[in-house]
Structures are given as structure tokens and as C-alpha cells.
Structure 1
Amino acid sequence: MSDVRTISEIRKIGIKALAQSLGPIGMVRFLQSFELGYGDYTKERHEWLEEDIDKIVSEIKKEEKLMAIKVPDWIGGK
């Protein structure tokens, strides 16, 4: 027979193990390092990935002129 625990019991045991292993401050820092996140990446990525490749190449070419560097042919240089 397996030892089935509730999620609450698992969390309690986990917190105790972390506190014993890392100390209370280390435990808190470890727990703070996790972020569940929110939203829908698939839908929202289009909002912050608006630029297409042509616009990106155009921006690189502008920077090339400003910085007087050569953009390699494989990314649209001359």
C-alpha cells in the first residue's frame, strides 16, 4: 500500500525539509526564487514580438551606418 499524502501535507513536509537543510532565511530565498507567472504566452507574445525580420534587418542597417560597421551578407548586409 502506498503512502498517499494530501498536497497540504506534502507542502508542510517540504517546508520543514527546506528549513532544516537551508535554514529559515535560505528557505525563504529559495521559495522566493519561484514565480508561477500569469497570462497566456501564446496569445500575448505577439504583443511584444511585433517586429518582423525585415524590420529587424532595417534596424541593424541603421545601426551599421551609425556605428560604421559592416553587417554580414547572411543577415542582409551589402
Structure 2
Amino acid sequence: MGSKTIAKIQSEGYDALVNALGPEDAIRFIRSFDPGSGDYTKDRKKYLKKMTVKQIGKEILELQKSL
């Protein structure tokens, strides 16, 4: 089995959504996504440049405890 093109994968994905949700809900699902704004890579480097992986992990654990 060869690799599929992005166009083929998208087409099959849309078909799967329509089959699973119906046309109206498939459209509502697709519209629910927000591409956001800004430059994630640039922002990430700015905010995390001085943090170690260990510090980031510690912050993640602390945030999980507060949920």
C-alpha cells in the first residue's frame, strides 16, 4: 500500500466525518476549529528559553494539581 497524498487523506477524512456525523454536524465540527494567531514557535522560544526540561515538568505537575 503506497502513501496517500494530503488531498486523498483530506477527502477520506471528510467522508468519514460525514458518514459518522451527517453533513450538518460534520460542517459544525469543522467550523469549531480556530487556527489561532501569532507565531507559536517564536513565542515558545521567548517564554521557555531559560527553563530546563525539569523546571517545565515541575510546572506541569503543579498545574495538574490545581485542576
Interval containing the TM-score (normalised by the shorter chain): 0.5 to 0.7
Q: Distance in 1 between matches of 2:39 and 2:3?
A: 33
By how many angstroms is 1:40 displaced?
Answer: 2.6
Deviations 1:37-71 (A, max 9, x none): 1213529xxxxxxxxxxxxxxxxxxxxxxxxxxxx
Identical amino acids, percent of aligned pairs: 40
Alignment pair present for 1:37 and 2:36: yes
Q: Distance in 2 between matches of 1:28 and 1:22?
A: 9
Question: RMSD value over aligned CA atoms?
Answer: 1.8
Partner of 1:73: none
AA aligned to 2:11 is K
Q: Distance in 2 between matches of 1:37 and 1:30?
A: 16
By how many angstroms is 1:5 displaced?
Answer: 0.4
Alignment pair present for 1:6 and 2:5: yes
Aligned residue pairs total: 42
Structure 1 portions without partners, runs of 5+? 44-78
Mark the structure with the bigger radius of gyration.
Answer: 1
Partner of 2:54: none
Partner of 2:56: none
Alignment of 1:13-24 (within 5 A): 13-24=12-23
